[in-house]
Structure 1
Amino acid sequence: MGGFRALIVAPAWIGDTVMAQPLFMRLHRAYPGLQLDALAPPWVAPVLRRMPEIAEIVDNPFAHGELSLGARFRLGRQLARRHYRQAYVLPNSAKSALLPFFAGIPERVGFTGEARYGLLNRRHTLDEDALPRMVERFAQLAQAPGTPLARPVENPRLTSTEEQRAATLGALGIERPKRVAAFCPGAEYGPAKRWPARHFAALADALAARGYAVWLLGSPKDRPIGDEIVRLAARAQPRNFCGATALAQAIDLIAVADFVVCNDSGLMHVAAALDRPLVAVYGSSSPGFTPPLSDRATILSLNLDCSPCFQRECPLGHLNCLNQLEPQRVLAACLAARADGDAP
């Protein structure tokens, strides 16, 4: 079916975008010769560029919650010139469905939600029990509404070539260490998802004693916690790259790492999709809905009676779910993951 063009209206979160990739894989199998483009905000575009299923990325300039009806209409009319036959609307808001409607895309696919009956014309009804994980909900959109999801669902797989990794290391002026652990100490949702800086620092010291360099990766918002880890580390000398790299560079640095330690965050999903040995630390959230999608991921959670609470800050004021998750336990998981892993 040559010349078949479809548009993905991408999520606004890095992790959600990674979990959408199995949908893209399934669409390519369903439509040989498909050109699949993505309408995406600039902060998730680097992840989409590492997916071979995506041909072009169209900038989505609208901030979260921004209606800008006139600007959306004008962008929709620009999209109309691309002659897409389908659009897959992954966010659940009505605003996200406006652009494909304004573009006159014949088939507009998504879950029924927030007043979207007229905007979508191939609507799925969400059965949370049948589709407990987000990756399953995205993958379901490749099928006819009401049909059971074809399982198993594929794992996401981002690309990072040797040339890309070398270019990133060169641009940052760093040499590839013999052994390196990557820490992703941030979590956009809030403090109740962040393992304490003192625990990251203790883990960095234990790994430094075993010959590992430690890199800290994250957004500019994560720079303070990265600085705190550096300050608290007694033996290690972690490199704080939080806010100092583009997302594409962070992807390449993760791909270099022998293993990765993450909170439940977007970079956790990136590490899983790069197939790196991964230790994922869970506090206020649950791996049931958005787990790291990799056979090489180890999930650590104390499973306290008060968790998961899904709060941004600990409602009980003690954050025991993370404070009591000791660095020695995470170290043991790291070393086991490394023993089962391979060099990138």
Structure 2
Amino acid sequence: MERSREPTALVLRALHVGDLLVAVPALRALRRAFPGHRMVLAAPGSLAPLVPLTGAVDQLLPTSDPDALAWTGPPPDVAVNLHGKGPQSHRALDATAPGRRIGFRAPGWPGPRFEEIALRHPHERERWCAMLAAHGIPADPADLRLPPPQETPRCGSHAPVLVHPGARYGSKRWPVRRFAEVAAVLHCALSPVLITGTADERELALAVARAAGLAESRVLAGRTDLAELCALVAGAALVVSGDTGVAHLAAAFATPSVTLYGPVGPQQWGPPADGPHAVLDEPGARRGDPFADDPDPALLEIGVGDVLRAAAALRGTRARALR
């Protein structure tokens, strides 16, 4: 007898580190809703180290953006749009001729209207869970934690403090001099500071180190891949950063963090309120352009003292939690 084909659920989320992490509760809800399906996630190949930690995905289909979705198998039994409200992302999934469509309402797509969900659920994590709930798939937005990698690096016998000055857009980058002042104060034998970032952010990280009086060996920007960064964040005593992917990693691993918000507030992208996280936000000064080249005025309203006070309040949080 011919073996029946394994049913497949294709999920589109062709975005970045933080975008994947806020979608973890929705991915896990889909895993529970379709336990017999092969769960295929269409997302950038660079996210491969993170995907297994979700416990919800069987296969990563490298996809840099919706138009690059290359589905070559039989039509998926279920297509789930966790990428956006359409039409580009809906159109990419329509091309696979799925048996069932799960997403926001559009021609050929049943479901809730994006505007109605966004009004009631401003946070990105809650928004996708609410969309699934409207399709009859219960989802818990608090189900975001990831298991830590098996080995987490340390600086001697002490967990490091990570200072991450970079961000994808200038609107979310706090000034170098301020990051340097924070790094200089936080760096000591009991909490050695490491400066993280991508290869493109290495010069920025080196500038912070020089201004802080730290050795170049303290700069890990450009020297770690995503798997190594995950291990660093999971084992850190504290993470200080702007609103970028490393802040979402800290939330996922329950690592104490201080996150500085600029053009977009924590109401949409912030960590869970019950975690060891401090959010610094000055909404009254917000310009709100996330793609600007210069720091948002709301970000510039946050002072070095604000960050240091928040860091001091969090010191020891992880040690107490592990007792």
TM value normalised by structure 1: 0.80
Q: 2:80 aligns with which of 88, 101, 124?
A: 88
Q: Would you say 1:258 and 2:261 are equivalent positions?
A: no
Structure 1 residue aligned with 2:288: 309
Q: Would you say 1:182 and 2:162 are equivalent positions?
A: yes
Distance in 1 between residues matched to 2:149 and 2:197, nearest whole Å: 21
Q: Which runs of 5+ in 1 are unaligned?
A: none
Contact 2:18 2:246 in 1 (8 A): yes
Distance in 1 between residues matched to 2:157 and 2:88, nearest whole Å: 46
Distance in 1 between residues matched to 2:201 and 2:61, nearest whole Å: 28
Structure 2 residue aligned with 1:275: 254
Distance in 1 between residues matched to 2:120 and 2:316, nearest whole Å: 36
- Where do 1:67-216 residues align within 5 Å? 67=67, 75-76=70-71, 78-80=72-74, 84-92=76-84, 93-112=86-105, 117-118=107-108, 121-126=109-114, 127=116, 128-145=118-135, 153-163=141-151, 165=152, 169=153, 176-188=156-168, 190-209=169-188, 211-216=190-195
Q: 1:328 aligns with which of 300, 305, 308?
A: 305
Q: 1:285/1:232 Cα in 2 relative to 1: closer, same or farther (>3 Å)?
A: same
Structure 2 residue aligned with 1:14: 17
Contact 2:166 2:197 in 1 (8 A): yes
Q: Which amino acid aligns with 2:149?
A: T
Q: 1:226 deviation in Å?
A: 0.4
Q: 1:260 deviation in Å?
A: 0.6
Structure 2 residue aligned with 1:337: 314
Q: 1:177 deviation in Å?
A: 4.8
Q: 1:122 deviation in Å?
A: 3.2
Q: 1:259 deviation in Å?
A: 1.0
- Where do 1:292-307 residues align within 5 Å? 292-293=271-272, 295-303=275-283, 305-307=284-286
Contact 2:149 2:230 in 1 (8 A): no
Contact 1:15 1:266 in 2 (8 A): yes
Contact 1:198 1:229 in 2 (8 A): yes
* Matched position secondary structure for 2:57: coil
Structure 1 residue aligned with 2:34: 31
Q: 1:324 deviation in Å?
A: 4.2
* Matched position secondary structure for 1:204: helix
Distance in 2 between residues matched to 1:324 and 1:24, nearest whole Å: 36
Q: 1:41 deviation in Å?
A: 1.5
Q: What do residues 26-79 of structure 1 show as CA deviations (whole Å, max 9, x unaligned)? A: 22333344432211122333322321111111122xx548x47xxx5xx33x13
Structure 2 residue aligned with 1:289: 268
Q: Which runs of 5+ in 2 are unaligned?
A: none
- Where do 1:40-51 residues align within 5 Å? 40-51=43-54
Distance in 2 between residues matched to 1:22 and 1:267, nearest whole Å: 18
Q: Which amino acid aligns with 1:328?
A: G
Q: Which amino acid aligns with 2:9?
A: A
Q: Which amino acid aligns with 1:297?
A: H
Contact 1:192 1:312 in 2 (8 A): yes
* Matched position secondary structure for 2:10: strand
Q: 1:110/1:334 Cα in 2 relative to 1: closer, same or farther (>3 Å)?
A: same
Q: Which amino acid aligns with 1:162?
A: Q
Q: 1:238/1:124 Cα in 2 relative to 1: closer, same or farther (>3 Å)?
A: farther
Q: Which amino acid aligns with 2:145?
A: R
CA RMSD of aligned residues (A): 2.9
Q: Which amino acid aligns with 1:272?
A: A
Contact 1:181 1:215 in 2 (8 A): yes
Q: 1:151/1:308 Cα in 2 relative to 1: closer, same or farther (>3 Å)?
A: farther
Q: 1:213/1:331 Cα in 2 relative to 1: closer, same or farther (>3 Å)?
A: same
* Matched position secondary structure for 1:267: helix
Q: 1:150/1:272 Cα in 2 relative to 1: closer, same or farther (>3 Å)?
A: same
TM value normalised by structure 2: 0.85
> Which 4+ residue blocks in structure 1 deviate beyond 6 angstroms?
none
